[in-house]
């Protein structure tokens, strides 16, 4: 009986301790691991971006849905935003409206926005019409995504007038948001002014 009582009291004590709120000096171990994982992922994305920034853009020859061709040489002297995406990518689709606005705001200043999709032309045409996309869209662009080492969608390359990659944006952006005006558009404005 004494052993059973002792086990009951120990069990009850453990239960009470387990139900106590944990002290969170600097967060829980789980939280710290998650932040560490998020930081590690951000470092990975930064390394990917830095591998291209400041380097010559890989040569490309793109043909949009209208049949117009774009190459590094034909775009020399223009600032190019090369956006890699696909239709089933929800973050990619959320960018469409703000990319259209960006195109409207900067086309006259020399910005060329080209969207390179991995989707086949047979499916992409109707989607482009439905969304009323006002910038060139290239279909079947997987080969170009590989050449630019795109592993996260959307990924957008900002290429200057000399064909140098000035900035890589990995992940969805609201190209018309306040933070974009503070972080992205200054890069664009600076390069367009050169």
pLDDT in tens, 122-177: 999 999 999 999 999 999 999 999 999 898 899 999 999 999 999 888 887 776 66
**Given this model, what pLDDT does residue 181 score?**
56
Q: How confident is the model at residue 18 (pLDDT cuts 50, 70, 90)?
A: very low
94 vs 183, higher pLDDT: 94
CATH 3.40.50.300 fits 54-193, yes or no: no
Helices and strands: H and E segment counts in the chain:
7, 7
Least confident of 54-58, 133-137, 177-181, 187-191: 177-181
131 vs 37, higher pLDDT: 131
Question: What three-state secondary structure class fits 124?
Answer: helix
**Given this model, what pLDDT does residue 47 score?**
65
Q: Alpha-carbon dihedral of residues 131, 134, 136, 141, nearest 10 degrees? A: -20
Question: What three-state secondary structure class fits 131?
Answer: helix
Return d(Cα 174, Cα 119) in angstroms, integer. Answer: 22
pLDDT above 80: residue 36: no
pLDDT above 60: residue 28: no
pLDDT in tens, 103-129: 998 899 989 999 999 999 999 999 999
pTM of the model as a whole: 0.74
Least confident of 24-33, 74-83, 125-134, 167-176: 24-33
């Amino acid at each position: 009986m004494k052993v059973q009582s002792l086990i009951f009291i120990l069990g009850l004590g453990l239960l009470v301790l387990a139900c106590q709120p944990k002290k969170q000096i600097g967060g829980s171990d789980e939280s710290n691991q998650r932040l560490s994982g998020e930081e590690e992922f951000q470092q990975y994305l930064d390394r990917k971006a830095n591998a291209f920034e400041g380097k010559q853009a890989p040569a490309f020859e793109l043909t949009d849905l209208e049949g117009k061709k774009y190459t590094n040489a034909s775009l020399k002297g223009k600032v190019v935003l090369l956006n890699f995406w696909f239709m089933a990518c929800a973050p990619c689709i959320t960018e469409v409206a703000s990319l259209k606005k960006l195109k409207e705001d900067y086309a006259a200043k020399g910005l060329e926005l080209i969207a390179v999709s991995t989707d086949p032309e047979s499916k992409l045409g109707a989607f482009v019409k439905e969304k009323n996309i006002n910038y060139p869209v290239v279909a079947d662009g997987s080969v170009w995504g590989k050449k630019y080492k795109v592993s996260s969608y959307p990924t957008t390359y900002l290429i200057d007038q000399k064909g140098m990659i000035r900035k890589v944006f990995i992940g969805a952006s609201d190209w018309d948001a306040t933070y974009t005006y503070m972080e992205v558009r200054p890069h664009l404005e600076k390069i367009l002014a050169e």
